[in-house]
Chain A
């Protein structure tokens, strides 16, 4: 019998990492490894030096177009050796940002990026994380002015606009400064910031490792659920179980579902396995047997049933992308997994139908004239995925790791710089193992 109070975490080889930990040990408010991942993401600002130097050189600042610039300000071009003097600029920025000398402020040059990690004292005091953009941009501007000895009429206003674009004439920065989290004003709904990384971002941050991407995607989604107030009351256990079974391969279920059904490669085999395990573990029972012999099930433990179903959905997504080495079909795989699951059991599909609908939306908007794009550019807070908090995004992240380069907008194309940032984010090296160890300590 599985009562859902304790669980074991396994890695992507099916090896156990933490045995019989308590469910609450993976609570984002308690698990140290999850907190460190989220804190790292929240405090990081990035200045794209290539973009900054080029836009100043050509006068092309303040555009709204995603690629290129429709704006070009003649007579205000600035030819500054920013990349050449990046180390000097970074050193000066650190001095400007530090609250006390030697605190945990980090400003590093990574390739042609300056990566700013704000000190804990700033992050802890702030009401939101817009400061990763604003402090990074302002410190960069002051550092440049000092190093290049610029006066008011020497283009300081150009520097500001090259860094922040049209902000504050518009509501979010669009210049050379960015961050892992989208600017707060661009989010669809409050408390959704951890859902603002794209699928490709997660894939890049986890270096194309399927189970790590599932874990990070899941951590981000469920952390947002806690921040939004969604993971309170009856939903707290619901989300923690979802994180465990879908994101962290609890009880090795996802791994075994993929392993055991891989040869047949059919969604219905995964569904049968999920039902079998749930029945054997006492999570569901047969409510009624129809004259035809068809069984209708009832859940003994609804959140745990959802976690089992969510694990099955992850397996379905990974299996689909794995056999085709292409991510495009994954939304359909999730959609039909849920379709078949409800027809097969009479039980609710993943996330009480929310994942079902979000998969449907995602399938449409990855193939439609009305919007969207390839699955890699989707974010959790995008309207297609927004309907299910925690249960669809991680599956697409994991699947995208298995794509053999079929997408126009691949992780390499949209998020290349994040691959480079991994060196500055030690928390993302084997994150499942780190979360498991931290949970073990709490148990």
Chain B
């Protein structure tokens, strides 16, 4: 039998977490006829908002136009008597205020998105074949190294092959570079190690072996265009920046003429046929170019996250970081900024960061212990509706039971989104862990809402969030073209997932399923390796710690304009 905590102790811990996080200690004296519980002080209870008010007064004087006026009752945040609960990062001993998690206020969150957006990956196999078969060039480790020198010069804004080209100050593009992923160890050993993402260095032995096998004899080029580039243009610039510097690099390294017919073949394979799109284009109503968050499938979040993928004993840290990254990527950036215009719903969707306790949230030693005991290990249960029902019932009821202890708690939680997300994420994670099947996991996420309905918890939260739960009941496993698909490939561009509140459980469900199976990646071995690169500005192996640095204003981002602006 496992030594994991019992249900009773897990429930107790959850309740304690709620009490602490939501300032519920004062509610214990039920006999009292008067209370000071609601005297939180409005905006003054927040250190951050107080700071905003002071700053804005000074700013208004300087520019002569009033802006932020959080201290005015008729304008300020309509808090009334509500408590502004701090957000605790799950798995990290740190709290932040809601405002600290707004992407504009958090440099770490910004950089995490920039680092994903500015990544371009191209397969080089066909380019090498065209060079050899069409051009007659010989591709060797030496020529590849020479090419990489050319390419790294060009991607940083250096001119190649063409005359009179404007170049870029290298300080503006100091975070731009190109490296290779190579599965063939013999070839990898001969490549200039400065230009190599070494699989063995980035992963534990078991994982490195599986990833190396999956990459096989293929060679991929991973480029990071400068952060400043994705700050002046959208994700569509990424492949183009990389592609043009690739073409110029190949032309220079292999001494080709610029207007040579074979160049067009080379360009076709390098720029189009073997370009990997991390994010694909989105539908017209939310139209974005490739490499924007809306086009990124949920499975990639589990691959971009570099927190060590688990053994059976350490699954929760990985899943927790995947959840945090998914929430940042989709909820804060995509829904919060791209879709909602940057104003408002951060609080509603930040739930995935919050330690919801040991039951429904992102960490549950009790739950994993229970799953192991019941099914003989993680990933051992055969997916079925019976398994989905049993596990989601267990997760949901425990979470609901904890919440029911504090009827007043819902006044603090933003709408119903937090509670709904709690049961949905918890259910998806648990079923994913139990079955190793992503489809069962996402069905469990939706199914958990049935328990909320049954218990008459009413609407599921902000912005008709439960609408999707109703729809996805019929949708999740559907073969109708616009509905279900492999969960790992889903994303917020699917119409039924294009509103906040549902996507986190898909992200976590997929990651949990593959973690339970002991897989080395979720959706793509290439993406997994590409983000193991230590030169990235954001450390994807320590996601919640990096975000905490952002909260504490200790994170140093890229993409500054210091070199081209006057000193303040």
Contact = CB atoms under 8 A, between A and B. Distances in A.
Interface of A: 61-68, 70-76, 134, 137-138, 141-142, 145, 152-153, 156-161, 164-171, 328, 365-374, 377, 408-409
A64 B300 CA distance: 13
B486 A141 contact: no
Given A134-B481, A152-B477, A368-B259, A75 B281 contact: no
Q: Which 4 pairs, one residue from A and one from B, show the smallest C-beta to C-beta distance?
A: A373-B268, A66-B273, A170-B280, A369-B247
A168 B481 contact: yes
Given A157-B487, A328-B261, A71 B524 contact: yes
Contacts of A377: 268
30 contacts: A62-B489, A63-B276, A64-B275, A64-B280, A65-B123, A65-B274, A68-B123, A70-B121, A70-B276, A70-B524, A74-B521, A76-B486, A153-B382, A153-B383, A153-B437, A165-B489, A167-B485, A169-B489, A170-B281, A170-B282, A366-B264, A367-B264, A368-B258, A368-B259, A368-B267, A369-B161, A372-B267, A372-B268, A374-B261, A374-B268
Nearest to A144: B479
A134 B484 CA distance: 14
A357 to B, nearest CB: 18
Contacts of A159: 479
Nearest to A407: B265
A158 B486 contact: yes
Contacts of B524: 70-72
Contacts of B488: 62, 71, 73
B272 A171 contact: no
Q: Is the interface of A mostly helix, strand, loop or mixed?
A: loop
Interface in B430-467: 436-440
B237 interface: no
Contact of A161 (B125, B440, B477, B485): B485
Contacts of A142: 479
B495 interface: yes
Most buried by B among A65, A145, A164, A374: A65
Contacts, number: 177
Contacts of A167: 481, 485
A159 B273 CA distance: 24
Most buried by A among B265, B487, B491, B525: B265
B523 A71 contact: yes
B472 interface: no
B261 A75 contact: no
B263 A367 contact: yes
B481 A164 contact: yes
A366 B486 contact: no
Most buried by B among A153, A158, A369, A371: A369
B384 interface: yes
B159 interface: no
A75 B519 contact: yes
Contacts of A67: 123, 126, 269, 273-274
A371 B263 contact: no
Nearest to B526: A70
A71 B486 CA distance: 12
Contacts of A68: 123, 125, 218, 274
Nearest to A373: B268
Contacts of A141: 479
Contacts of A374: 261, 264-265, 268
Nearest to B384: A153
B486 A157 contact: yes
Contacts of A165: 489
B471 to A, nearest CB: 14
Contact of B493 (A170, A367, A370): A170
A116 to B, nearest CB: 14
Most buried by A among B134, B261, B281: B261
Given A64-B280, A74-B517, A168-B493, 19 more contacts: A66-B273, A67-B126, A70-B527, A72-B214, A72-B521, A75-B514, A76-B486, A137-B481, A138-B481, A153-B382, A166-B280, A169-B494, A365-B264, A366-B261, A366-B264, A367-B263, A371-B267, A374-B264, A408-B262
B294 to A, nearest CB: 9
Contacts of B490: 169
Contacts of B297: 62, 166, 169
Contacts of B282: 170-171
Nearest to B262: A408
A252 B261 CA distance: 33
Given A66-B273, A66-B274, A74 B123 contact: no
A67 B527 CA distance: 17
A160 B484 contact: yes
Contact of B268 (A61, A328, A409): A409
A372 to B, nearest CB: 5
A139 B125 CA distance: 36
Contacts of B214: 72
A16 B189 CA distance: 68
B479 A373 contact: no
Nearest to A375: B264
Given A72-B214, A152-B439, A369-B263, A64 B486 contact: no
A171 B289 CA distance: 11
B485 A169 contact: yes
B491 A169 contact: yes
Nearest to B130: A408
B485 A164 contact: yes
A373 B383 contact: no
Contacts of B487: 157
B277 interface: yes
Given A67-B126, A153-B440, A367 B484 contact: no
A238 to B, nearest CB: 32
Given A70-B121, A160-B479, A169 B493 contact: yes
Contact of B267 (A66, A158, A369): A369
Contact of A373 (B264, B295, B484): B264
Contact of A166 (B161, B439, B482, B485): B485
Contacts of B275: 64-66
Contacts of A66: 272-275
B158 to A, nearest CB: 15
Interface in B468-485: 477, 479-482, 484-485
B519 A74 contact: yes
Nearest to A75: B517
B248 A168 contact: no
A156 B477 CA distance: 8
Given A142-B479, A168-B493, A169-B491, A74 B264 contact: no
A328 B260 CA distance: 10
A159 B282 CA distance: 23
Contacts of A408: 130, 133-134, 262, 265
Contacts of A64: 275-277, 280
B244 to A, nearest CB: 7
A75 B295 CA distance: 24
A153 B440 CA distance: 8
Contacts of B263: 367-369
B10 interface: no
A367 B265 contact: no
Contact of A153 (B247, B280, B439): B439
A137 B521 CA distance: 28
B525 to A, nearest CB: 6
Contacts of A368: 258-259, 263-264, 267
A391 B161 CA distance: 34
Contacts of A72: 214, 521, 523-525
Contacts of A75: 436-437, 513-514, 517, 519
B251 to A, nearest CB: 6
A73 B523 contact: yes
B206 interface: no
A383 to B, nearest CB: 13
A157 B299 CA distance: 14
Contacts of B251: 369
B372 interface: no
Contacts of B133: 408
